[in-house]
Chains A and B, each alone.
Chain A
Amino acid sequence: MLGLALLIAGTNIPEKTQNNYLRIAAGQEINGLNPFNPAFNDVYSQFVMSNIWEKLYRYTPDFLDNPAAKGSSDRRIFLWIAEEMPSYKKVGDNYEAIIKLRDNVYWWDGERLTADDVVFTSNLMLKFGIPPQNWVNWSITGDESYVESVQKLDDFTVKYTLKELVPIFETGALMGYIFPKHQWEPIIEKSIEKHHKGTDKISKDERILIASEIWSLNLGKDIKLDEIIGSGPFKPADWRKGEYMRLDANKDYWAKGRILEIDGREYEIGPYIDGILRKVYRSPDISKLAMRRGEVDITGILPSDISEFEKIETIKIEDYTANSLFYLGFNLRRKPMSYLSFRQAVSYLYDKELFNERIYHGRLPPINSVVPFVNDYWHNPNLSKYGEGMSTAEREYKVYIILKEDGFKWSKEPRFNIVDGEVIELREKGEGLMMPDGEVCPIVRLMGAPPEEIPDSAQANIMLQGWMIDIGIPAKYTPTEFATAVDKLSPIDGSEPDFDINTSVGWLTDPDPGYIKDLWHSTQMPEVTAGGNNYSGYNNPEFDELAEQSAREMNPEERREMIFKLQEIISRDLPVYPTNTVTRIQVYRADKFKDWFNRKMYGIGGCNNPYAYMIIKPIERE
C-alpha cells in the first residue's frame, strides 16, 4: 500500500492552466440556485444568486450617504438597475411610485432588461404569491401588502401603485432580484396551465400547487447552468456538488467601466478576474492549511490563527464587525423574569466585556443596543451600559441592591467585603431568594447552546449561572440544541414559548431597522402569530405605536429619532438584553489580486458584498 501511495505521489500530476480565477474556500455546499425556493436562504446559495440576478437599488458600497438619495427613506440607497431614485405622487387614497430604469442593462443572452421584466417579477408576488427567495421578508403579498399594482409606462419606466408609502418599499421590494420575463414566463404559464382550471381567478390551492412546482425546479438540471439567464457580473459555469462551483466572469457586463466611489477612492467596475472558483472545505483547520499552501486565495480564520498568518508577507488579514445581534431573552410571562428589577439584575451580572476578552478572544464585541454599533446611522449610542467597567464583586453588590430595593428577600442575605466604600469581594453567598410577592424564587433555567455545539457559549452560561447562584438566585444552565431551542422559543402551533432565559439565539440583522418592529411588536408573540419572533412576550402599547409609526415614516431624520426611542424603550424595559455582535476575520492573497474591498458589516465578498469581486484585479496582468 505504501509503495502504491508513493508511486501515485510520484506520478506527474498534470499542470494546471494559468488563470486568474479567484479561489474561495467555502465552509459548506450550496443548497441550490432556484431563487424562488425558500430553502435556499443560506448565505452560500445567496452568494451565487447575488452574482446572477441584480436589483433596482442597493445600499452604497461603504454605507455612506448617497447625495442622489436625498428624498428617500434611507440616504444610503444606491442606484443600480434603476437610473433615478423613485419619485412619489399622491393620487386619491393611493401613492404612485415612478421608477426609471437604465436603458443599457442587458441579460446574458443579449436581450435588454426592460420594464417588462420588473413588472413580471413584481407580479410573481402580487398575482401568484410566488415570492423570489429574497423577497419573502417584505410581505408585499396577501392582505398585508402595501403594493396595489405595478404597471409598465414605457420600456424603461415602471409605476407602482401603493396603498401606503412605507420605507420598506424602498429597502425591501425595490431591493429584490429582477428576473428575465422571457425565461420565467413560459415556465410559470406552463405551470398555471397545468394547475389552474376554469377562467376564474387562480385559487389559493392552485397558487400553492403552482408555487410548489416552481420551487422544485432544479437549476443546474431542469434549467442547465449555461441556460440560466441573469444580468450580473458572474455566470455559473460548472458545479460538482459537494466539491466546487465555478462562476465565469461576464465579459460583457453592462456596468463595466462604471465608476464606484468607495471611501473617497474611485474604482472602475470590471470584472477583471476570469471568474470565481468556490471550493468546499468542511473543516476550518483544513481551509486554513489550504490558504497557507496557496490552494485558495481567501478564507475566514479565527483570532487564534492570526499569528501564523501575520508571518506570511503575501497574505493580508482584515476583520469586520458583522451586523449581528445576540441577546439574553427573558420570558416576561414567568416569574421572576416578569420583574424589571430581576431582568436588570441578570443584565448587570452578565459581564459581556469579560466574556469577550477571556472566552471569545475578542470575537464577540459587546453591544448595548438592539441595533449593533456597526449600523451607525440607526444605532443609538446613548443607552444604559449595565455594569460596564465594574468588577464582578461590584456587579454582584449592585444586583443585591437592585433586588433588595424592589422587595426581594433572602433567607440568608449575601454579604460583601466593603472597604472605604469600595466593594472588594462577595464574602458570603446569598440563599433562599424570595420574590416581592413573598413566593420562593423558582429555579431559573438558562437555555443555551450545548457545549458540543458551541463550547465558548456553554462556558459563558456556566459562569453566569455561578454568579446568579452567588447572589442567591437559583439558576440552572440547561443545554439545548439549536432546533429544539427554536421550537421552544417560537412554537408554530400558537402555544406559549417554553423557556425562562434564552442565551442561544441571535440574528444577522438587516441594515434597515424595521426588524425591531418584527421582533418586539406585541402582534409578533408566538401565541398571537404562530411562529412569531417576540419570544419574550413583550407587550407595550407605547412601543407598538412608535414601532408602527416608524414603519411608515419616510423622512429618515424623523424615522431615526423614532428608532432611537425604540432602542431606548427596549434598553429600559429589557425584554431582551443585547449582549454582543460578531467580529469576523478574513485572510486573502495580496500578491495575486489587488483592490480588495472590505465592506462594512459584510467583509470581503459574500452575498452582501456584491461589489468586491467586480472590482478586484489580478496583479499578474499589469
Chain B
Amino acid sequence: MGRLRYPLRRIIEGLITLFIVMTIIFLLFRVMPGDPLSIVIDPKMTPEVKEMIRHSYGLDQPMFVQYGIYLKNLFTLNLGESFRYSQPVSEVLAARIPNTLLLFTSASVLSAVLGIILGRIIAWRRNSKLEYGLTLAGLFFYEMPIFWFGLILIYLFAFRLNLFPISGMIDFELWTLGATTGEKIIDILHHLILPLITLTTASFCGMMLLMRTSMVETMKEDYVEAAKARGLPDKVVRDSYAARNAELPVITAFILSLSASIGGGVLTEKIFSWPGIGYELYQATIGRDYPLAQGCFFILTLMTILAVIVIDITYAYLDPRVSYD
C-alpha cells in the first residue's frame, strides 16, 4: 500500500504545482506591458473590425473569464490558437517538438555518456595531467558563448571545409525537388552533426564534474576500500563498485536535462536555423503570442514535473535508504 501511496501523492503534488505554475504564467503574461494585438490591429481599421479581431482572439472578455477558459482548455489539453500563426498551438508544437527532441535530447544523451565516462576516468586518476587537462578543457567549452562557438564551427567545417551544411535541418532543394526516404535520413543526420557537436561540447563538462565529485566521494567508502584490499583489478573496482553508486546523482541530473531538452535553446536554434521550439518560445514571448508561449511553458512545466516525479519514484525503488514516507 505504501509503495502505491507514495507515487500517488507525488502525482497529486505535481498536479498542484502545475496548476500554480500555469496560473503564475497566465498572470505574468497579462501584467506584461504592451497590447498583444498591437501588431495586428491597425489604427486605420474601423472600430467594428477592431472589435472583430479582439473577439476572434478572445481578448474582449474580462480577465477572470479568460482565466476560466484558459484553465478549462488546459484541463482538456486544448492549448488554444496561436495569435501569430492562427493555428492550434498543439499543431505548432507538434511540428517543432520532434525537431527539438532530435537535437537536444541527442545532445543530452551524448553529454551524459561522455560526462560519465570522462568523469569516471578523471576521478580515478586524480591530480594527474589528464584530470587537469580535461577539467580545463571542459570548463573552457562550458563557459564559451555557444553562439560564438557555433559560428566558428560553421565557418570552419561548413563554409571553409565544406564538410557539413551551413544551417537548417534539411537541404531544402533536395527535399522539395525529390529525394528518397534514405536520402532524407542521411540529409537530416548530415545537418544534425554541427549543432550536436556544439551543444555536446558546451554541456558535457557539467556532467563530467558531477560524476567526478560523486565518484571521489564514493571512492572514500569502506566497500570500495574493501574491494581494493581484496585485490580486485582497478577496472572492476572503478566500474563495478565506485562508479555504479556514484552514478545516482548524475542520473538525476540527466533526467532533468532530458526534460529540459524539450525547451530547446534559443541561441543554438537561431545560429543553426534549427526549426525547434526554443526560438519559437522566444518569438512568442516577445511577440505577446500568449497562447503559443503559454503552450510552450505548459509542456516544459509538465515535462519537468514528470521528470521530478520519475526521479523521486525511481530513487525510492533503486535506493533502499530512501523512504516512501
**CB pair A292 B52 closer than 8 Å:** no
B50, B81, B86, B180: the one within 8 Å of A531 (CB): B50
Q: Is B187 in contact with chain A by the CB < 8 A criterion?
A: yes
**CB pair B56 A136 closer than 8 Å:** no
Cα A533 to Cα B180 in complex, Å, equals 54
Chain B residue at minimum C-beta to C-beta distance from A524:
B43
A9-B164, A286-B167 given; A238·B176 CB < 8 A: yes
List B contacts of A41 (CB < 8 A): 39-40, 42
List A contacts of B286 (CB < 8 A): 483
**CB pair A212 B52 closer than 8 Å:** yes
Chain A residue at minimum C-beta to C-beta distance from B56:
A212
Cα A4 to Cα B194 in complex, Å, equals 12
A9-B163, A144-B46, A242-B275 given; A215·B86 CB < 8 A: yes
Q: Is A5 in contact with chain B by the CB < 8 A criterion?
A: yes
User: Least Cβ distance of A425 to chain B in Å?
Assistant: 42
Q: Is A487 in contact with chain B by the CB < 8 A criterion?
A: yes
A13-B187, A243-B275 given; A289·B270 CB < 8 A: no
Please classify how large the interface on chain A is, using the bins under 10, 10 to 19, 20 to 34, 35 or more. Answer: 35 or more
Q: Is A111 in contact with chain B by the CB < 8 A criterion?
A: no
Encoded as 1 (CB less than 8 Å from any A CB) or 0, chain B from 83 to 106 comes to 111110000000110010000000
Cα A208 to Cα B47 in complex, Å, equals 12
**CB pair A484 B166 closer than 8 Å:** no
Encoded as 1 (CB less than 8 Å from any B CB) or 0, chain A from 211 to 245 comes to 11001101000000000000000000110111110
Cα A6 to Cα B161 in complex, Å, equals 12
A19, A129, A243, A524: the one within 8 Å of B52 (CB): A129
Q: Is B49 in contact with chain A by the CB < 8 A criterion?
A: yes
B86, B158, B186: the one within 8 Å of A11 (CB): B186
**CB pair A9 B190 closer than 8 Å:** yes
Q: Is B318 in contact with chain A by the CB < 8 A criterion?
A: no
Chain A residue at minimum C-beta to C-beta distance from B110:
A1
**CB pair B172 A279 closer than 8 Å:** yes
List B contacts of A23 (CB < 8 A): 172-173
Cα A285 to Cα B272 in complex, Å, equals 11
List B contacts of A490 (CB < 8 A): 38, 43
A212-B52, A277-B176, A285-B151 given; A136·B44 CB < 8 A: yes
Cα A277 to Cα B171 in complex, Å, equals 11
Cα A142 to Cα B166 in complex, Å, equals 51
Q: Is B35 in contact with chain A by the CB < 8 A criterion?
A: yes
**CB pair A40 B43 closer than 8 Å:** no
A1-B197, A242-B96, A286-B166 given; A13·B273 CB < 8 A: no
Q: Is A383 in contact with chain B by the CB < 8 A criterion?
A: no
List A contacts of B196 (CB < 8 A): 1
B38, B42, B85, B270: the one within 8 Å of A282 (CB): B270
**CB pair B171 A216 closer than 8 Å:** no
A5-B197, A139-B44, A282-B270 given; A487·B176 CB < 8 A: no
**CB pair A136 B45 closer than 8 Å:** yes
**CB pair A244 B56 closer than 8 Å:** no
List A contacts of B72 (CB < 8 A): none
Cα A14 to Cα B174 in complex, Å, equals 8
Q: Is B41 in contact with chain A by the CB < 8 A criterion?
A: yes
B46, B114, B164, B270: the one within 8 Å of A283 (CB): B270
A14-B183, A40-B86, A129-B49 given; A289·B34 CB < 8 A: no
**CB pair B38 A290 closer than 8 Å:** no
User: Least Cβ distance of B282 to chain A in Å?
Assistant: 10
User: Least Cβ distance of A337 to chain B in Å?
Assistant: 22
CB-contacts of A286-307 with B (<8 A): 286, 289-290, 292-293, 295
List B contacts of A492 (CB < 8 A): 35, 38, 41
A1-B110, A208-B52, A483-B288 given; A17·B151 CB < 8 A: no
A40, A216, A483, A533: the one within 8 Å of B33 (CB): A483
CB-contacts of B136-194 with A (<8 A): 151, 154-155, 158-159, 162-164, 166-180, 183, 186-187, 189-190, 193
Q: Is A549 in contact with chain B by the CB < 8 A criterion?
A: no
**CB pair A216 B178 closer than 8 Å:** no
**CB pair A32 B87 closer than 8 Å:** yes
Q: Is B319 in contact with chain A by the CB < 8 A criterion?
A: no
Cα A544 to Cα B159 in complex, Å, equals 57
B96, B151, B186: the one within 8 Å of A13 (CB): B186
A131-B49, A139-B46, A208-B56 given; A295·B166 CB < 8 A: yes
Cα A227 to Cα B179 in complex, Å, equals 24
**CB pair B159 A293 closer than 8 Å:** yes
5 pairs of A and B residues whose beta carbons are closest in the complex: A242-B275, A483-B34, A212-B56, A244-B172, A142-B46
- Interface residue ranges, A against B (CB under 8 Å): 1, 4-6, 8-9, 11, 13-14, 16-17, 19, 21, 23, 31-32, 34, 37-41, 129, 131, 136-139, 141-144, 204, 207-208, 211-212, 215-216, 218, 237-238, 240-244, 246, 277, 279-283, 285-286, 289-290, 292-293, 295, 481, 483-484, 486-488, 490, 492, 518, 524, 529, 531-533
